[in-house]
Structure 1
């Protein structure tokens, strides 16, 4: 399985539009055919270069197995029109919160998981809750890494 974006190549800098320095909207993402038996997808976007701990920017789960893309600017609502459910990021909000590193260049990992079931978690689940629910149900993963440094 491969994860891609029309606005970001692997290890490129994330355009400011998708960060706290711009419109702070989610980038468009797409992926190819998952393995047989996929019942849903989950997405985690995080920054392992953040001070003190990995900072979570987006948690999204129960994306239907028929979906192959997420459009730009996903609304920060509990449940998406496609049925996906949004968790809580480390800004304390539902949905996407863009890169906003305090200093230096940080890496942002967009990780997509193909799962053998729908998880049924309530809206607002954390990354840790999602990872616990996914344990033993991951059929495949795909990853796209972007970088960002604030222009001050």
Structure 2
């Protein structure tokens, strides 16, 4: 997996955060394992005091040899779960105090997940637990500008 907006370990542009347009960055997912029936995507802030904070949770993404998820786009036919803001949508990085790390994880699954829209991350991970054929991740950093 990669993003055309930032490279692994680098800064996420403000456009994709609460300080910009608050839209999802473009992502490309490739080298999908044989037998993959669907993909799940999770974006976590791993530097919050209370553990992780979910910024985007999407599953039942149809796989392709190379899948492009455009900026400000939820994959057609996919299902969106509840993020840390309580919404079933993308919520951009908005760290309150210092630089935070945002982990973009994609999971190749051997089936579609039967979960209602708005389900939480733990529901998705429980349903996907024994169905994961492979995974990939990239990490982006963001710190808010001083005001």
TM-score (norm 1): 0.92
Matched residue, 2:62? 64
Q: Counterparts in 2 of 1:68-87, with a 5 A limit?
A: 68-74=67-73, 80=75, 82-87=76-81
Which whole-Å CA distance do the structure 2 matches of 1:103 and 1:74 have between them? 28
Which whole-Å CA distance do the structure 1 matches of 2:141 and 2:86 have between them? 22
What residue ranges of structure 1 are gaps of 5+ in the alignment? none
Which whole-Å CA distance do the structure 2 matches of 1:94 and 1:125 have between them? 9
Deviation at 1:95, TM superposition (A): 1.5
What residue ranges of structure 2 are gaps of 5+ in the alignment? none
Deviation at 1:141, TM superposition (A): 0.3
Given the alignment, which residue of 12, 15, 39 partners 1:14? 12
Which whole-Å CA distance do the structure 2 matches of 1:71 and 1:60 have between them? 14
Report the number of matched residues.
145
Which whole-Å CA distance do the structure 1 matches of 2:78 and 2:14 have between them? 26
Given the alignment, which residue of 84, 88, 100 partners 1:90? 84
Which one is further off, 58-67 or 116-125?
A: 58-67
Matched residue, 1:113? 107
TM-score (norm 2): 0.95
Deviation at 1:65, TM superposition (A): 1.9
Q: Which has the higher strand share?
A: 2
Matched residue, 1:123? 117
Which whole-Å CA distance do the structure 2 matches of 1:135 and 1:31 have between them? 20
